[in-house]
Amino acid sequence: MGLLSLQALSPQVKQYLIITGNYWAFTLTDGALRMLVVLYFHQLGYSPLNIAMLFLFYEIFGVVTNLVGGWLGARLGLNKTMNIGLGLQIIALSMLTVPEEMLTIVYVMAAQALSGIAKDLNKMSAKSSIKLLVPDGAEGKLYQWVALLTGSKNTLKGIGFFLGGLLLTLLGFKGAIMLMSALLLCVWLFSLFALKEDLGKAKSKPKFTDIFSKSTSINTLSAARMFLFGARDVWFVVALPVFLAVTFNWDHWWVGGFMATWVIAYGMVQSIAPYFTGKKQGKVPTGKTAFFWASYLTVIPLLIAMALYFNFYIQVSILLGLLLFGAVFAVNSSLHSYLIVSYASKDGVSLDVGFYYMANAMGRLIGTLLSGWIYQDYGLAACLLISSFLLACASLLSLKLTTLPTPTAP
């Protein structure tokens, strides 16, 4: 019965399921790998700064990959860029199966750089593909599909954090990496045969200079996205985990478990974001929606910073504030993910989506660097104030989007 049901699905839905399955498999290994690297190198006695350095190239190469990856997707097809991403992740994992004495900081940074390239090729391909699988004018369905893909990715990334710790305990570092490599290899082989060959290939071969968007709406949304993710990571990536460990005296399992749970819950809210933004009334988001939700988010870090300054039930304020921030941020992120796919040109969609996710990666990189520096010199409250400032910038940029035409609901 199940097989017959699958056969009855439209070709578009089948391709969406294959793309989503690829994205899910990749995301699980990506989350698990991050936790494996953090815990394993912590056990080896690496300092927090050295462990953070292992991920520096991962973020830097994300900026470059999204720009170049969008161009490659338009020239070669999104099936190829998605499969290249899966293949590179298998290579990156295999690089980490060498003897322990070879796992130097520089070597692991190189493997993480390859993994970062793989992740952004995979994400750009998955997000771009949805634009091509949804009929023109079906903006409501487009929003739901984007929200589901985006939210499920973050939920699975959180599950991957747990999976990494579990595999490290059961199989050790090398055994865990080998198992993930084997499973991802099976997914990659299936994907090579299952994805349509011409998916996402532009009708005219774009020039390399076309990687920079010429659309005002996409440039504005991309800038807003950069500030949005910089505002999250300026306090979430380094400052918050260290603060929880030092101030609340949590061990790394408590910190890791809490962060993983937050990411899972954040992904769940992303998946149902359409229900918070007018789906029941048959509405789809506009630039005005993005402006209002960014404005709501701006206030939250400011309130948490005030609680810290006045020493007002710090533990409760931090934890409740983080949960509220996560929920509102998830809606903002899902809105942006829909708007970029909606604004993007259907011919060569990956060029626009790649440019947008370049801005996303740039925001993460800026936020990560600021998080360590500002927290070390000025504390968590300063990180939160900068977060509010960056969110105010995102809100003002989103205000420019309010003049764009409203997409039509199906």
CA distance 389 to 383: 10
Nearest alpha-carbon partner for 294 in 389, 404, 373: 389
Mean pLDDT value of segment 311-315 = 91
369: amino acid identity, one letter: L
pLDDT at 3: 41
Nearest alpha-carbon partner for 340 in 146, 148, 153, 60: 146
Q: What is the pLDDT of residues 5-42, one digit of tens each?
A: 445 556 666 777 777 788 888 888 888 888 788 778 87
Mean pLDDT value of segment 242-268 = 81
pLDDT at 146: 75
Burial 354-379 (b: 16+ CB within 10 A, else e): bbbbbbbbbbbbbbbbbbbebbeeee
Write out the CATH class of domain 7-403. mainly alpha
Report whether pLDDT(408) > 50: no
Mean pLDDT value of segment 156-177 = 85
Decide: helix, strand or coil at residue 349.
helix
Domain boundaries, the chain: 7-403
Q: Is the pTM of this model over 0.85?
A: no
pLDDT at 227: 97
pLDDT at 332: 93
SS (HEC) of 76-106: HCHHHHHHHHHHHHHHHHHHCCCCHHHCCHH
pLDDT at 251: 73
pLDDT at 193: 81
Report whether pLDDT(404) > 80: no
Q: Give percent of the chain with pLDDT exceeding 90.
A: 22
Report whether pLDDT(407) > 50: no
